[in-house]
Amino acid sequence: MTSLRLPDPDQAVISRRAAIIEDIARLIGRDALIADEDGRRAFETDALTAYRRVPLLVVLPRTTEDVSKVLRYCHDNGLKVIPRGAGTSLCGGALPAEDAIVLCVSKMNRILDVDYANRCARVESGITNLAISARVSGNGFFYAPDPSSQLACTLAGNLAMNSGGAHCLKYGVTTNNVLGVRMVLIDGTVVDIGGAHLDAPGYDLLSYVIGSEGQLGVITEATVRILRAAEGARPMLVGFGSPESAGACVSGIIGAGIVPVAIEYMDKPAIEVCEAFAPAGYPLDVEALLIIEVEGSDTEIGVLLNRIAEIASAYQPKSMVISTDPDHSARIWAGRKAAFGAVGRISDYYCMDGTIPLGQLPHVLTRIGEICSGYGLKVANIFHAGDGNLHPLILYNANSPEEAEKAELAGADILRLCVEVGGCLTGEHGVGIEKRDLMTVQFSPTDLAVQMRIKTVFDPGWLLNPAKVFPLDVSAAHTDQRAAAAPRAA
């Protein structure tokens, strides 16, 4: 890939590596460190595997106090810190640097308290989304955000990128399901923002923190909403002869005032690959497929599915199948959840993430095909159609530098298209390093200046997750100032 530019590593820091290891070992214990090269190499990348950097050191804290001690030490010694959850980031958000410490919260995975009366749970940030739902499901509750990586991804990464998932159409994304966080600032100060109540006093700092990509602090705990599970849910499959018809149908359903729990889109390449990988009964003679799920009582589900079928019929569907039982429903969703892995079996792919207004779906789907074709590449489209969050998978050969460059250029063109039609650069994957140099497409110099001033308030030395989110030339004044002012150990 061509866009990766990181500042040259600080050789003075690297030369002090042995002393740094000893210092942090004294603070939180040697068993909380991964210092050997093979161990550190396991953290050299995230799910955007085209980019790799072996970190200076990996730290696995067990408590908020551990995190506070490590960050205070890094602050006092001018050391860069890369916060990390499970490393499932698809934008290079957890990519380390050779002179940076990776602070991974994966060992902080406890459920600290569940309050069913007030419908919330206090958990550590290293827990997985599914683990939260598993804990409360016996009492008829669940935690709503469900990204495709929910089996592995941690709440920490979801908070950093404001992740969503298939069911965010009805239940919202992470920011809509979190009431408060405990966060450690770069100087080791522990702050509580929000809490177990519906509306916190003062400024809405929670909205700054969620989606800030580890740039403002390290979240160690969160108070999340838990919701009462619906009586039942049932999906239906609607196949179309063209992507444009499927996109228009999505707009028709939402425009009619119906909000299903999920509307997922798959085009023909994705349908064929997913059906071969996890047989779900997807129609193979269609160009595009919608998975539409509704929930409620049996009567309510029946009324909603019939109404959706009526709306869909106006867009000339080639097939329409309603799930017949829970096993059928599980197969339908298993195919969708396995989509990225299924595509990965047949090709390397570059997964994009942008959002668009629903009314632009037909136009944008056509243009995505044209853009990729123009670079001589194929594309498989799998995305959350209900909220316009696109995830086109650009297929390429990772062993070919030429194809890798074309995939990156095609992805940038797709993201520019999203902004042109009134959308934005990211829906849930974040900016990280992948979209960093496209931020000027979305934001004016004034917009970026305000965002960088907010970061500077929380992280004056720009030590947290550096070289991410903001274009390097735009943020140079801040990082140069940091380098001049950063404290150094004697």
Looking at residues 235-250, what average pLDDT do you find?
93
> What is the predicted pLDDT for the residue at 110?
98
Q: What is the pLDDT of residue 262?
A: 93
pLDDT at 14 exceeding the cut of 90? yes
- pLDDT band with cut points at 50, 70 and 90 for residue 378: very high
Q: Which CATH number fits domain 233-340: 3.30.70.3450, 3.10.129.10, 3.40.190.10, 3.40.50.970?
A: 3.30.70.3450
Look at residue 339 and tell me whether its pLDDT is greater than 90: no
Same fold, 111-228 and 233-340: no
197, HSE (Cβ side, Cα atoms, 13 Å): 7
Angle between helices 268-277 and 326-337 (to 10 degrees): 120
Looking at residue 489, what is its pLDDT?
Answer: 45
Per-residue confidence at 2, pLDDT binned at 50, 70, 90? very low
Burial class, 478, CB count within 10 angstroms (exposed 0-12 / middle 13-18 / buried 19+)? buried
Helix 445-458 vs helix 472-485: crossing angle, to nearest 10: 30
Query: If DSSP states are collapsed to H, E and C, what string results for 327-370?
Result: HHHHHHHHHHHCHHHHHHCCCEEEECCEECCHHHHHHHHHHHHH
Q: Give pLDDT tens digits for 248-271.
A: 999 899 999 999 999 999 999 999
* Interval 270-285: pLDDT, tens: 999 999 998 989 999 9
Tens of pLDDT, residues 128-179: 999 999 999 999 999 999 887 888 899 999 999 999 888 888 999 999 999 9
Domain boundaries of the chain, sorted by first residue: 111-228, 233-340, 348-433
Mean of pLDDT over the chain:
92
- Which pLDDT score is estimated for 385? 87
Nearest to 243 by CA among 363, 152, 71: 363
- Please state which CATH number belongs to domain 111-228: 3.30.465.10
Read off the pTM.
0.92
How high is the pLDDT of residue 151? 81
- 253 and 306 Cβ atoms separated by less than 8 Å: no
What are the DSSP E strand ranges found in 145-199? 178-184, 190-194
- The whole-number pLDDT of residue 1 equals 44
Fold of 348-433: Alpha-Beta Plaits (3.30.70)
Q: How far is CA 125 from CA 116, 189, 452, in A?
A: 20, 17, 25
Contact call for residues 425 and 411 (beta carbons, < 8 A)? no
